[in-house]
Amino acid sequence: MEESVDKAFAKNSNSFGKKALDMMNVEQASDFLNLAMATIYDKTSKNMIPHKKKGNKLYFIRAELEKWILEGDVKTDSQLEEMALDYVMRKPFGKVR
């Protein structure tokens, strides 16, 4: 039954607003992110990746995955040094909490 519902979603994506949200299943999210399906399952179990769960099915929204990717900025050494200097300059010296 659930499999036929999933197939109907895939064929008729405009019903139930699936196209409007651009939803993906695990396999599609795996392809989109270029990650193994096992990695996707691992990240969802650790709440490391945005997802929706209905029953035993996982769903992903493309916009949320894109935002998640963009939030993964890696700071350059100069940015880290600037942040450290800014932190040290704001922290009062000699004050014990």
Each residue of 27-80: pLDDT tens digit?
999 999 999 999 999 999 999 999 999 999 999 999 999 999 999 888 899 999
Q: Give the helix ranges, DSSP H, for the chain.
A: 2-11, 18-21, 26-33, 37-45, 62-70, 77-90
Domain locations along the chain = 2-90
Q: Record the pTM.
A: 0.61
Asked whether residue 17 carries a pLDDT value surpassing 60, the answer given is no
Residues 33 and 41 sit within 8 Å (Cβ to Cβ): no
DSSP 92: P
φ/ψ region of 83 (left if φ > 0, alpha if ψ in -120 to 50, else beta) reads: alpha
